[in-house]
Amino acid sequence: MASNTEVLTDEAQPAEAQSGKHINAGQVRKFLQIFRYVMRYKRYFFTGLLFLGFSTLTALLFPYVASLLADAAQGKTLWSVRELGWLLLGILVVQSVFSYARIVMFAYVSEYTMADIRKDLYARLITLPIPFFEQRRVGELTSRLTADVTQLQDAISINLAELLRQFATLIIGLTIIGLTSWRLTLLMLSTFPVAIVVAMFFGRFIRKMSKQTQDALANAGVVVEETLQSVQVVKVFTNERFETRRYQKAIDNVVSIAMRTAKYRGLFVTFLISAVFGGIVVVLWYGAVLVQQGSLTIGELIRFILYTVFIGGAIGGMGDLYGNLQKALGASERVVEILHEKPEVALQPDAETATPALTGNIEYRNVRFAYPTRKDIEVLKGVTLQIGRGEKVALVGPSGAGKSTIVQLLMRLYDVNSGAIYLNGQPITSLNITHLRHHIGLVPQEVILFGGTIHENILYGKPNATDAEIIAAAKKANAWDFISGFPQGLDTLVGERGVKLSGGQRQRIAIARAILKDPAILILDEATSSLDAESERLVQEALDRLMENRTTIIIAHRLSTVRKADTIYVLDGGTIAERGNHEELAAKPDGLYRYLLKLQFEEAPAAS
Ligand SMILES: Nc1ncnc2c1ncn2[C@@H]1O[C@H](COP(=O)(O)OP(=O)(O)O)[C@@H](O)[C@H]1O
Ligand SMILES: [Mg+2]
């Protein structure tokens, strides 16, 4: 398991590593695509912007009026202290109202936007082909739906507003102090730009380090996810200690990276603060000189300082905002990447109706195939076979020969590399994939159930089935006896992935599902291989019922179960080594089938 993890981590890296560098045009374009979602709520969005503008302006009025107050105290203004006091209070109230409205508006836009993005993202994810999932980890994909989208939400609801506010503060603040005293302003400007340049350089460095912390945390999360998902395996192999150490190491790594980042961030913030205060000290001193000379009033000096603090704050905050914006761009890149993946099925049901009924004439012509994740190993090397309508065909052969692969190709979980598969004379690539899969039922060796009730799991075969249909299917599948034996009957919870049921019980639920689905083509992939004799009898009985009037492909390594098949294909190393019925193949001297038969014959007494 551990080695598997490492391989996958390496593969997962490039996409992650790309983000977090400089902002490029492609990222911006992708962010704008995300912004199209925001524009669905443009009325709210622009109203929010308007309120943001108002609240920023009123906030900026505040220091101005406050400085007038200082002059009024000395009797140097047209306004009295009392009037200005009321004015300040009024500004405060108006400002609060605007701020409140702004926050609610942006929350509305961002919440609805993110919900839309999440829905689209999931709809796209679930319709993507299997190879997409084999190349990525579940944890990585779920984090796109959660963490990445949340990042976008912050960008839209908080960062954008902050950026605009700080930009306005900068411009208006500079104008006001310039008008108040251009000499002081020039002095101030000769100190701040130096700080800004250093801050930009420093900030970029720190962002890179924050990214490393995030990646390290994600790596630790992967350990948790994997081991909790397969907690049984961990326990059976008593690897708790090993996994705990693996997790500890990952978390320690997070701490050391985070602490290193924090130290630099501390330096960064300290530098910014001292630069700001240093600037203020210089300005204050020169301001006092100007007041002494009579070219500046106390109120004007106060105004100048208040606005300088505002401007300093705005500049200081912009570094962080730039970082957040960059993160949001990275997140939107990852989100848009999925939205751009090509789905294999359409979620609209209308495409189905036009296509003809598939009765189950199957033909493989010289099919060659390698799994997308292992392109260099050809699993099927020219497979040709025919299955007539209603026929029972068996695929046998050593494990790893490619039997399951053959049936996965029929369902188009993967596409062939060369050759073709025909259904009723048409290449399956020309059929609607939903339509195609609709006509195929699969009972695998390891049935995986959803964590809900037995009822829900059977219903998966036909979501609109009635209770009577479900019960009838369960009866046919030899499942009704054990289901009605549970105190809660059909409403019994099966546990995550069905762990609360035995293998044979799960198998019969899968059969009930297939009965409800009523497919023209049935695939049994070692459906009884892992069962004990009694369950096997019950399951086999149910399967025999299910197979009636259906084209069936039976994959089995217990050859007793394939005796009755019309044709048996013996597969070896990705090619068809033999074909014929049981008698023919058993009679063939030096045949693989005869050899496998002999092996099992020898094993059988020992096994029982
Ligand atoms: N999803 C997959 N990705 C890569 N290789 C796979 C995958 N599934 C199966 N294989 C490989 O393909 C070969 C054939 O597998 P399979 O068709 O499952 O064999 P069988 O069902 O006959 O035991 C094996 O070597 C197996 O390791
Ligand atoms: Mg198999």
- Rounded to the nearest integer, the mean pLDDT of the chain is 86
Q: Using the 8-state DSSP alphabet, how is residue 40 labeled?
A: G
CA–centroid distance, residue 448 to ligand 1 (Å): 18
Average pLDDT score over residue span 133-144: 88
Residue 208 is which amino acid? K
Q: Is residue 591 very low, low, confident or very high in pLDDT (cuts 50, 70, 90)? A: confident
pLDDT digits (tens, 9 = 90+) for 275-312: 777 877 888 888 899 999 988 888 888 888 889 888 87
**Strand arrangement, sheet containing 521-525:** 440-443, 521-525, 551-555, 392-396, 567-572, 575-580
Q: Is residue 4 very low, low, confident or very high in pLDDT (cuts 50, 70, 90)? A: very low
The minimum-distance atom of ligand 1 relative to the CA of 525 is 21
The residue whose CA has the least distance to atom 20 of ligand 1 is 400
Query: Are 23-180+325-344 and 441-518 in the same CATH fold?
Result: no
The residue whose CA has the least distance to atom 3 of ligand 1 is 371
Closest ligand to 379 CA?
1
Residue 462 is which amino acid? K
Closest ligand to 446 CA?
2
Residue 411 has what pLDDT?
Answer: 93
Average pLDDT score over residue span 589-603: 83
The minimum-distance atom of ligand 1 relative to the CA of 130 is 1
- For the ranges 4-18, 31-45, 67-81, 376-390, the lowest mean pLDDT is seen at 4-18
- Nearest residue to 559 via CA among 395, 442, 391: 395
Q: Is residue 473 very low, low, confident or very high in pLDDT (cuts 50, 70, 90)? A: very high
Query: Is 577 a residue whose pLDDT tops 50?
Result: yes
CA–centroid distance, residue 409 to ligand 2 (Å): 13
CA distance 226 to 224: 6
The residue whose CA has the least distance to atom 18 of ligand 1 is 404
Look up the CATH number of domain 358-439+551-608: 3.40.50.300
Query: Is 532 a residue whose pLDDT tops 90?
Result: no
Average pLDDT score over residue span 435-448: 89
Query: Is 608 a residue whose pLDDT tops 50?
Result: no
- Residue ranges around ligand 1 (CB below 6 Å): 134, 371, 373-374, 379, 399-405
Residue 435, token pair as written in the block: 């339509």
Query: Is 354 a residue whose pLDDT tops 80?
Result: no
CA–centroid distance, residue 404 to ligand 1 (Å): 7
Query: Is 139 a residue whose pLDDT tops 80?
Result: yes
Residue 56 is which amino acid? T
Out of 8, 136, 403, 404, give the residue to mutate to test ligand 1, the one with the largest number of ligand atoms within 8 Å of its CB: 404
Average pLDDT score over residue span 166-178: 91
Average pLDDT score over residue span 382-411: 93
Residue 11 has what pLDDT?
Answer: 36
Q: Is residue 558 very low, low, confident or very high in pLDDT (cuts 50, 70, 90)? A: confident
The residue whose CA has the least distance to atom 26 of ligand 1 is 400
Residue 29 has what pLDDT?
Answer: 86
The residue whose CA has the least distance to atom 10 of ligand 1 is 371
The minimum-distance atom of ligand 1 relative to the CA of 555 is 21
Look up the CATH number of domain 441-518: 3.40.50.300
Residue 408 has what pLDDT?
Answer: 94
**Domain definitions of the chain by residue range:** 23-180+325-344, 182-295, 358-439+551-608, 441-518
CA–centroid distance, residue 412 to ligand 2 (Å): 16
The residue whose CA has the least distance to atom 17 of ligand 1 is 402
Bridge-based pairing state of the strands 418-423 and 521-525: unpaired
The minimum-distance atom of ligand 1 relative to the CA of 408 is 17
Query: Is 214 a residue whose pLDDT tops 50?
Result: yes
Q: Is residue 604 very low, low, confident or very high in pLDDT (cuts 50, 70, 90)? A: low
Query: Is 13 a residue whose pLDDT tops 60?
Result: no
CA–centroid distance, residue 133 to ligand 1 (Å): 16
Query: Is 351 a residue whose pLDDT tops 70?
Result: no
Q: Is residue 404 very low, low, confident or very high in pLDDT (cuts 50, 70, 90)? A: very high
The minimum-distance atom of ligand 1 relative to the CA of 405 is 17
Residue whose pair of structure tokens reads 């075969």 in the numeric block? 461
C-alpha torsion sign, points 339, 337, 204, 219: positive
pLDDT digits (tens, 9 = 90+) for 445-460: 888 888 889 999 999 9
**Which of 74-78, 347-351, 384-388, 534-538 ranks highest by mean pLDDT?**
384-388
Widest CA span in the chain: 120
Q: Is residue 2 very low, low, confident or very high in pLDDT (cuts 50, 70, 90)? A: very low
Out of 405, 417, 575, 576, give the residue to mutate to test ligand 1, the one with the largest number of ligand atoms within 8 Å of its CB: 405
CA–centroid distance, residue 61 to ligand 1 (Å): 71
The fold of 23-180+325-344 is ABC transporter transmembrane region fold (1.20.1560)
Q: CB count, 10 Å around CB of 408?
A: 18
Q: Are 331 and 159 spatial neighbours (Cβ–Cβ below 8 Å)?
A: no
CA–centroid distance, residue 409 to ligand 1 (Å): 12
The minimum-distance atom of ligand 1 relative to the CA of 395 is 22
Instruction: Using a pLDDT cut of 70, give the percent of the chain over it.
Output: 93
